[in-house]
Amino acid sequence: METVLYTIENPDGPLTENDLKAVHACGDIIKRGGLVAFPTETVYGLGGDALNESSSARIYEAKGRPSDNPLIVHICDLEDLRLITEDIPEEAYVLAGRYWPGPLTMILKASDAVPRKTTGGLDTVAVRMPANAVALEFIRASGGYIAAPSANLSGKPSPTKAVFVMEDMRGRIDAVIDGGTNEIGLESTIVDLSGDRPMILRPGFITADDLSDALGTKVITDPAILDPNCKERPKAPGMRYRHYAPKGEVIPVKGSPEEVLGYIKGELSAARNAGKRTGVICCMENASEYDADVIRSAGALDDAKAAAHIFYSALRDMDDENIDIIYVENFTDLGFGEALWNRLLKSAGSRVLELQTKS
Ligand code: TXA
Ligand code: MG
């Protein structure tokens, strides 16, 4: 299959006439049961008709994803929630009012309109209204319900640029809409509203504090996803698989900034002497301190937004350069940093190097 690439002229909107033409052509592909990758504010999604069982089956196949790992249904109008969900709690409207369109996915009770192929066999469904001009127009043009996981091959870092989607999906899907680099760079926050109390199943740009503030009650995060030693299984099926992993070994290093800098410098020279290709993901200030084959720097250590923005593309760069070992400095794990820390843990197979902090 030839994968057609459509390049959007004005991805931040308003969309140009050419843009609208491209997006509507892609909407028609979806209506015919095809697959189209598209930009959102988080990462690129691999879209198919959420109400068409065979489209969902094709998504799992294109990604090489286990079919018990459910897809997120993307909508462009709050009204459309009614067709695909049941018993919508008041909290859903409160959160939608504050954070939709935006990087928040809600788990709700699924109606019979949603094929169980889309929900991975579950009676709940994940729903999100993305805040991206191209995504919203594309969903509308497709009939209103787009099932979309991240547009990477299963196990690879989520794509934050169309070239990365092409790397993974060329020949496997009908089209890719290139809307530039995703603004946030990490997947949406997932909050489960189908249980007794709201719980975050995957941290993202909308934080636990944001949700607690909106709902007036403390929203907790699934303990299984932040603690590398937790024995419980994560509640979101997708959080149980090894994921976001480059080919090289990822080593998050925790400790005081000075210790981390000194430690990584020492390890880099040892790794190089052992004939390994080395990489570092670090804060801007330290980029010139290291001697490694690939160095990717973001903002300050407490700037989770800057680090999240480059994280997945940094991991892909490491693969392109055949890096064997990748050291990552200890960016903040507070607020949005919790999401970064969670993805970092997954890319590292939950191993963390903790330096003894001298007091
Ligand atoms: O930002 C995002 O959410 C991106 C863009 C494309 O919207 N999408 C995304 O989809 O990250 P995906 O498939 O890569 O991740 C969806 C996660 C998986 O961990 C899956 O197990 C979980 O959502 N999930 C989906 N439906 C669920 C459900 N009914 N109950 C629990 N977890 C669910
Ligand atoms: Mg994914």
Q: Give tens-digit pLDDT for 189-215.
A: 999 999 999 999 999 999 999 999 999
CA of 42 to the centre of ligand 2 (A): 11
Q: Please provide residue 241's backbone torsions phi and psi, each rounded to the nearest 5 degrees.
A: -85, 150
Cβ(263)–Cβ(357) under 8 Å? no
pLDDT band at residue 148, thresholds of 50, 70 and 90? very high
Rounded distance between C-alpha atoms, residue 91 and residue 82, angstroms: 15
Which of 209, 225, 241 terminates a domain? The answer is 225
**Region for residue 275 given its phi and psi (left: phi exceeds 0; alpha: psi -120 to 50; beta: otherwise):** left
Taking CA atoms only, the protein residue closest to ligand 1 atom 31 is: 236
221 is a domain residue: yes
Residue 187 token pair: 């997947």
Q: Above 80 in pLDDT, residue 76?
A: yes
Rounded distance between C-alpha atoms, residue 311 and residue 290, angstroms: 18
Cβ burial of 89 (10 Å; 0-12, 13-18, 19+) is middle
Q: What number does the ligand 1 atom closest to the CA of 158 have? A: 14
Least Cα distance to 112 among 88, 85, 143 occurs for 85
- pLDDT number for residue 225: 85
- pTM of the entire structure? 0.97
Q: What is the mean pLDDT of the chain?
A: 95
Q: Which of these ranges, 65-79, 119-133, 150-164, 233-247, has the smallest mean pLDDT? A: 233-247
CA of 271 to the centre of ligand 2 (A): 31
Q: What number does the ligand 1 atom closest to the CA of 152 have? A: 14
Residue with tokens 């690879």: 156
- pLDDT number for residue 155: 87
Do 78 and 213 share a domain, yes or no?
yes
CA of 347 to the centre of ligand 1 (A): 17
- pLDDT number for residue 357: 65
Residue with tokens 């049961």: 33
CATH number of the structural domain spanning residue 302: 3.40.50.11030
Q: Is the CB of 69 under 6 A from ligand 1?
A: yes
282 is a domain residue: yes
Q: What is the pLDDT of residues 286-327, one digit of tens each?
A: 999 999 999 999 999 999 999 999 999 999 999 999 999 999
Helix (H), strand (E) at residue 30? helix 17-31
For range 156-164, the mean pLDDT? 96
- pLDDT number for residue 223: 86
Quote the number of domains for the chain.
2
Q: Quote the distance between the C-alpha of residue 280 and its chain's center.
A: 21
Q: Is the CB of 149 under 6 A from ligand 1?
A: yes
pLDDT band at residue 240, thresholds of 50, 70 and 90? confident
Share of the chain above pLDDT 90, in %: 90
Do 141 and 284 share a domain, yes or no?
no
Do 205 and 58 share a domain, yes or no?
yes
Q: Is the CB of 157 under 6 A from ligand 1?
A: no
What range does the domain containing 277 cover? 249-354
293: Cα within 13 Å, side-chain hemisphere: 19
Do 300 and 257 share a domain, yes or no?
yes
- pLDDT number for residue 85: 98
